């Protein structure tokens, strides 16, 4: 095993019987080719370079292949017939389709919770082991997925949040986040329509949430019992009240407890009202 000459963060493993001989020292992810490793290396660079940007949503990618895959999301080539969500490939549609049914073929050996794909199960398994293999080489914080590490690295890339909104002065660490903010908050454009009722939405996320009111889909399942929920906040409330998992938000005046911080804030304001 030898160190790359241009970086202290990348390891090049000797070719052996392993299918992915090139390993990243920062996050331990392995690659089949040295070129693939080189592209991945940009995630951990000081400036977070992302070269290829999507013209439709502003999201950036580190090579043209990833951008082409992402373009399928906008073309509706691979679309879920149940909720309308679009994906990069047919395989992703198949895996996503399981979220609309009880098909969970990958089961956790510790808690018996089922998952729609093997990567989902492997990420979940880290909860039981406390494993956080992806470490930031700037501040030594550790994360359990490469996605959360990648998002964290952007904090070091532009700590001053240099991209500022000209309307409300909110600031962002990435240009694409500012573009998304302008489109979703300060624009009246609603390009996403519900195929059930025709109602228009600014983002795909808002549309997906709305579609559940028509389909009755309950994608959030409790890991402890058979209960399923339409909304994530309902699942969190259930986990806290029924299984004592999570955190209570307690009023410092009357010690009343809430499952969500926004409900506590509204409650505290009532204490401060002159009527009280």
Residue 78's SS3 state is strand
> Residue for token digits 């009280």?
276
Q: Which residue has the tokens 């030898």?
A: 2
Query: 70, 81 in Cβ contact below 8 A?
Result: no
- Taking only the tens place, the pLDDT of each residue in 200-212 is 888 777 888 888 8
What are the pLDDT digits (tens) for 81-102?
878 888 888 888 888 888 887 7
SS3 label, residue 217 = coil
Residue pLDDT, tens place only, 126-157: 776 767 777 877 776 777 777 777 777 766 66
pTM of the model: 0.36
Round to whole Å and give the CA distance between 246 and 233. Answer: 12
Q: Which two tokens stand for residue 139?
A: 């501040």
Domain limits of the chain?
Answer: 1-44
**Dist. CA 100–CA 115, nearest whole Å:** 12
């Amino acid at each position: 095993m030898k160190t790359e000459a241009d970086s202290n963060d990348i390891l090049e493993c000797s070719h052996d019987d392993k299918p992915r001989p090139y390993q990243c020292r920062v996050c331990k992810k392995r690659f089949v080719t040295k070129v693939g490793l080189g592209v991945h290396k940009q995630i951990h660079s000081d400036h977070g370079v992302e070269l290829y940007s999507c013209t439709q949503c502003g999201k950036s990618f580190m090579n043209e292949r990833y951008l082409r895959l992402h373009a399928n999301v906008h073309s509706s080539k691979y679309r879920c017939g149940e909720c309308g969500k679009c994906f990069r490939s047919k395989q992703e549609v198949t895996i996503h389709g399981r979220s609309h049914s009880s098909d969970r073929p990958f089961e956790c050996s510790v808690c018996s919770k089922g998952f729609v794909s093997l990567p989902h199960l492997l990420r979940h398994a880290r909860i039981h082991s406390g494993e956080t293999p992806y470490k930031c080489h700037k501040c030594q914080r550790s994360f359990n997925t490469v996605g959360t590490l990648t998002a964290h690295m952007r904090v070091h890339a532009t700590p001053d949040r240099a991209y500022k909104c000209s309307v409300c002065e909110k600031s962002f660490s990435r240009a694409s986040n500012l573009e998304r903010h302008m489109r979703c908050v300060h624009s009246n454009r609603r390009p996403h329509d519900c195929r059930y009722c025709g109602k228009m939405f600014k983002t795909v996320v808002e549309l997906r949430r709305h579609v559940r009111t028509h389909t009755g889909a309950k994608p959030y399942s409790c890991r402890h019992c058979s209960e399923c929920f339409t909304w994530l906040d309902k699942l969190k409330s259930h986990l806290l009240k029924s299984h004592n998992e999570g955190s209570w938000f307690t009023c410092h005046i009357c010690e009343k407890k809430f499952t969500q911080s926004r409900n506590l804030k509204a409650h505290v304001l009532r204490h401060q009202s002159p009527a009280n």
